[in-house]
Structure 1
Amino acid sequence: MPVQSLDIAEPFFSVRVIENVKSHPITGKTIVLNLSESPIAVQKQTLAHLQSAIIVDTVIEPVDHAVVIERIADYEDEDALFQRVRETWPSAFKVRGEERLRGVSHYMSPKVWIGKYGFTFYHSGSVPLNVGLHRDHAFCPVPGFREVHTQIVGFGKMQQCRERDVDTLYLEEPMAPGATHRPMYDANGNYPWHQFETITPSIFMAVEMLPDGAMPPQGV
């Protein structure tokens, strides 16, 4: 199926996974994340593997594998949007049960797996968020797990630390709408201690990528 719609971010955003098309028209402000090793042409620019941008009223080509998020410019009142999201999505702690998420203003959409790719939206409601540094992804026992995050609404920062202590911070990437941080994993899927931290209340998308031999986990 060249274009597959995902309902995980409804009624707030329209999300589509696009595969193996020569071209795809973009209408209005839309975030495009390239999931393929092959570049996507945008006029005379390109999006490389795991790069994203806000694309407006143009054509992207060719598209081997990408995810697009539409209707990102529909909300003049972001506070009202966030309130509706909190009324719709459960807390991440309720879904995932991780102790680091207890009492944290962090909410998540349903997750959907398309092959080896998992897609989830998160709303981070407080500043600071204090979601907690982490580096393990226990649900994937096969080496090579990968994950990136794409900012949808609001501003944040992805932080990497030498130890499980923010005072050991060594790399921080600002996250604005349309931005995806650089991959932080090594060839074996090993991660540093890392966390997403808010600058403003935010919504972002997580894309998880399973290695060969791994199966999508049950639940989350």
Structure 2
Amino acid sequence: MNRNIVRPLELGTPRIPALLVENVDHYRVQGPAVVVNPHPDPVRLDVAPSVTIPALSSTILTGTTIVSAPSVIVVAATDAPAADVIRAPGWHLLSELMPSFPPATPLWKGPQAAAGSARLDAPHLLGERADRRQEETFDIRVNLWYAPAGTDCAIHDEHDFIEIHTQITGVGRMQKFHARDHSTLYQDIPMAPGYTTPQPFCRTAPDGGYRYPWHQYRADTDCVWLAVEYHRPAR
């Protein structure tokens, strides 16, 4: 099997190039780059003492070798103005794609790209049981988002996939609420570049889907972040 298969991820960001590296075997990250481990097992780095990128997590690497992994997502770390990204083709205000979304909310979505697959035991991954059992293959899809400073990106509770979020530029936060009301905030997760929310927010539902709490992204500064989505392949 070929090793270190590198494929560009077309995320609509010429100034923030992104790569998928599959069958990782002593792959050197020149960096600086945000490196996401989208798998349920840690990824070891070739440094001493031993360091790993934990499951469904990320870090910023420079001049570092990844020992092995099914795949990693590598996004260039940059200090370019975050607002520059939406000038590239393929970016849309979310209200253009989803007419029901509040048109006054300046939330922009970039083009989505396929990023390989991962083997997951969803109930174990989501903390519903301690032991790891039968795994399923999930397709991974990724896209970037942009929001300017001070944007509340809308409280919602519906997704038909598992997702995590990785901060690329700026400072923001993922927030959870008891109801669709900002005054019911109960968890606030600060996010700086290189940070991923390692515990997906959802739980499995009886119909095979996923149940999310009320949640939103909030941009403290101008922000670009990466959504990593896990979809069951269509049957």
Task: Give TM-score, length-normalised by structure 2.
Answer: 0.79
Structure 1: runs of 5 or more not aligned? 216-220
- The one-letter amino acid paired with 2:221 is T
CA distance in structure 2 between the partners assigned to 1:38 and 1:49 by the alignment: 5
Is 1:198 aligned with 2:206? no
Question: Residue 44 of structure 2 aligns with which residue?
Answer: 41
User: Which of 16, 22, 31 is 2:19 aligned to?
Assistant: 16
Report how far residue 114 of structure 1 moved: 3.8
Amino acid at match of 1:7: E
* Of 125, 134, 137, the match for 2:148: 125
Q: 1:159 aligns with which of 166, 169, 175?
A: 175
**Correspondence list, 1:59-98, <5 A:** 59-70=65-76, 72-73=77-78, 75=80, 78=81, 81-82=82-83, 84-88=84-88, 89-98=91-100
**Stretch of structure 1 that moved more, 162-171 or 111-120:** 111-120
Instruction: Give deviations 1:100-156, integer Å, cap 9, x for gaps.
Output: 3x11111121112345111111110141x122100112xx3xxxx201110000000
- Report the Cα offset of residue 214 of structure 1: 3.6
- Percent identity reads 28
Secondary structure of 1:86's aligned partner:
helix
In 2, distance between residues paired with 1:114 and 1:85?
20
Query: Equivalent residue of 1:99, what SS?
Result: coil
State the alpha-carbon separation in 2 of the partners of residues 54 and 37 from structure 1.
Answer: 19
> In the alignment, is the contact (CA less than 8 A) between 2:94 and 2:101 conserved in 1?
no
State the Cα distance separating 1:99 from its structure 2 match: 2.1
Any conservation in 2 of the 1:152–1:202 contact (CA below 8 Å)? yes
Aligned counterparts of 1:132 and 1:178: Cα–Cα separation in 2:
23
Tell me whether 1:149 sits opposite 2:149 in the alignment: no
Counterpart of 1:93 in 2: which secondary structure? Answer: helix
**Deviation, structure 1 residue 201:** 0.9
* AA in 2 matched with 1:172: D
Give the aligned residue type for 1:19: E
Alignment length (residue pairs): 200
Aligned match of 1:218? none
Specify the SS of the correspondent of 2:202. coil
Q: Is the 8 A contact 1:27 1:56 kept in 2?
A: yes
Q: Does 1:105 align with 2:67?
A: no
8 Å CA contact 2:170, 2:223 repeated in 1? yes
Helix, strand or coil: the match of 1:113?
Answer: strand
Matches of residues 203-214 of structure 1 in structure 2 within 5 Å? 203-211=224-232, 213-214=233-234
Residues 23 and 63 of structure 1 are in contact (CA less than 8 Å); yes or no, is this contact kept in structure 2? no
Paired residue type of 2:200? P
Q: Distance in 2 between matches of 1:16 and 1:23?
A: 16
The answer as to whether partners of 2:10 and 2:112 remain within 8 angstroms in 1 is no
CA positional deviation for 1:22: 1.6
